[in-house]
Amino acid sequence: MTSIRIGLLAASFLALTGGSAFADYELDILHINDLHSRIEPINKYDSTCSAEEEGKNECFGGVARLKTAIDQQRQALSGKNVLLLNAGDNFQGSLFYTTYKGAAEAEFLNLMKFDAMTVGNHEFDDSEDGLATFLDKVQFPVVTANVAAGASSKLGDRIKPYIVLDVGGQKVGIVGAVANDTDEISSPGPNVLIGDDVADITHAVAEVKKQGVDKIIALTHVGYPRDLAAIAKIPDVDVVVGGHSHSLLSNTDEKAEGPYPTMVDNPGGYKVPVVQAGAYTKYLGNLKVVFDDNGIVKDAKGDPILLDPSFKPDEAVVTRIKELAGPIEELKAKIVAETAGPIDGSRETCRAGECQMGNLVADALLDRTKGQGVTAAITNGGGLRASIDGGPVSMGEVVTVLPFQNTVSTFQLKGADLLAALENGLGQIEEVAGRFPQISGMKFSFDKSKPAGSRVVSVEMKEGDAYAPLDPAKVYTLASNNYMRAGGDGYKIFATAATNAYDYGPTLDQVVADYLSANRPYKPFTDGRITAVAATGTAAAPAAAGTTDGSTAPAETAAVPAAGPAATTRHVIVRGDTLWDIARAAYGEGHLWRRISEANGNPEPRALVIGSELDVPAK
């Protein structure tokens, strides 16, 4: 097959040099990927845009604005050859998906009249059942060559390996593929097999070629790196329209991962344009491809269109979104869990040290991704916007804590870079900045009296049931949120040094709600994973939270010499401490606890605040 393509290249060159005029074929490809249920407009943080931000013209995307942009482009290209393609992951990312399970996405995609779509891994998040319901509703073909539905699958034969479309009198083949590890990172179930992307695309391309098609587009959800390294090098693939990695390719945006299109050398002796258009409806991909008479790409150019406030949202779509939003308010009132006590998510604690809400969110992140080999999680204290009262917990309360619709992200990072990230997180404690790191699967100590950039005292990573010192050269698999993964809150090291980065998909609020539900009644706690160090350099203990949390880790005491008179020492409260224990350690007699109590204003003896310091008078 490769030799045939090379022969066509030679024939094309000879014909052109001989003066014969072949008719070029122009094809305009509009495309999106990774919509992730961003039905409403988003802000610069990829979260739902507020009314205030909308009033300030600070919003992007949303399906109403996307509909306008598509309509405008189609009108501008009237009479030309146009395809509208969707590279998958329409599910998961907002309460519209949680409420309607793909029905809202299907409705709006139908309005835009897509020509073809490939499935993304998140289309299987609710097993094949969720995707089957979506397929019941969509009015356009879905093509994914490496999805094989068994005889008992509800998908039936509705996912095709390829389609051939007549576009302006020319046959154009579209072959799809989803990530090979979809069965690991999502839930297709036992009736759906995920094959190999390269092998199955190669086979599908051969079938398309049998129909006399010489213009073939690979519509993939495998990620930009995979598209470059493998898909674009498959014989007879002419164009790759991708998704999965949320890659913005652009010729004008300095933050782009690569040029639009990125041209890849195919072993057949020709170049293949590869494109992707970010995520979350913020961009509409816009590629013009020129084929010669033998189906060889002569030219490819374009750039994603930023869907900024200059695009007026389609009014009919806006009205429909408001209608659909009604039941979402009911969802917010739904009780999803119970908690045995208040969960402290206050700004004062979560931006200065270990806090109960930080532990909850980080633990939920780690629990959700541990099946992907993730061993530790980190999230920013500034992303925690409220506390939760004890008792029943509503979905609305969870959304209030985590209102930004940030999604789970996974990536790999060297220990040295993780250390740099922690230093960033500790760099603005004095300003109560939101970058303070809340963690799981690791622990660290810090000295805030040191200059920013050198505050970390020690870092240990959990390995099995024990902890081991951070290895600067070791690569760790971590989970965070997509905001931090992209460099937000100063975590630029995640954006520049992380490898195998992937925005895993579910929103943090849903992940935390699921975790609370699975652990009801949830018992708030701190456990010493983040330890403050006194100015003298002696290790102290975790930051503020009550010790009445029901946790079972052994109590620790650490007397730290105070900077004041030698006759008084200072003790930092750790989980499990009581005044009796502290007095027994300091004086050898527990009944002398009142001396410590009186020296510190008589604090509540059974609700000592973890991380706070007590003066311990000399005996």
- Residue 603's domain is classified under what CATH number? 3.10.350.10
The pLDDT of residue 555? 31
Q: Domain ends where: 271, 296, 325?
A: 325
Residues 399 and 515 in one domain: yes
User: Could you tell me the residue range of the domain that residue 163 belongs to?
Assistant: 23-325
Residues 449 and 489 in one domain: yes
Dihedral pair phi/psi, residue 496, rounded to 5°: -100, -30
Residues 506 and 576 in one domain: no
Tokens of 30: 């509009």
The pLDDT of residue 605? 62
- Tokens 């988003």 belong to which residue? 42
* Cα angle 479-484-488, degrees, rounded to a multiple of 5: 175
Contact by Cβ (8 Å): 175, 227: no
Residue 388 is assigned to a structural domain of this protein: yes
Burial 544-581 (b: 16+ CB within 10 A, else e): bbbbebeeeeeeebbebebeeeeeebbbbbbbbbbbee
The pLDDT of residue 455? 96
Residues 190 and 279 in one domain: yes
- As a whole number of angstroms, the distance between CA 555 and CA 576 comes to 5
Residues 359 and 314 in one domain: no
Residue 120 is assigned to a structural domain of this protein: yes
Q: Domain ends where: 483, 511, 531?
A: 531
* pTM: predicted TM-score of the whole model, two decimal places: 0.70
Residue 17 is assigned to a structural domain of this protein: no
The pLDDT of residue 604? 67
The pLDDT of residue 564? 35
pLDDT < 50 regions, the chain: 1-21, 536-566
Q: In total, how many domains does the chain have?
A: 3
Residue 520 is assigned to a structural domain of this protein: yes
Contact by Cβ (8 Å): 373, 477: yes
Alpha helices in 264-346 (DSSP H): 315-333
Residues 30 and 145 in one domain: yes
Residues 196 and 266 in one domain: yes
Residue 549 is assigned to a structural domain of this protein: no
- Residue 374's domain is classified under what CATH number? 3.90.780.10
The pLDDT of residue 11? 44
DSSP 598: H
Residues 573 and 484 in one domain: no
Residue 523 is assigned to a structural domain of this protein: yes
Residues 420 and 485 in one domain: yes
Residues 60 and 183 in one domain: yes
Residue 369 is assigned to a structural domain of this protein: yes
The pLDDT of residue 22? 58
Residues 141 and 232 in one domain: yes
Rg (CA), the chain: 28
- Could you read off the pLDDT of 11-64 as tens digits, one per residue? 444 444 443 445 899 999 999 999 999 999 998 877 788 888 899 999 999 999
Residues 421 and 304 in one domain: no
Residue 50 is assigned to a structural domain of this protein: yes
The pLDDT of residue 517? 96
Q: Domain ends where: 476, 511, 531?
A: 531
- Residue 301's domain is classified under what CATH number? 3.60.21.10
Calculate the CA 137 to chain-centre distance: 27
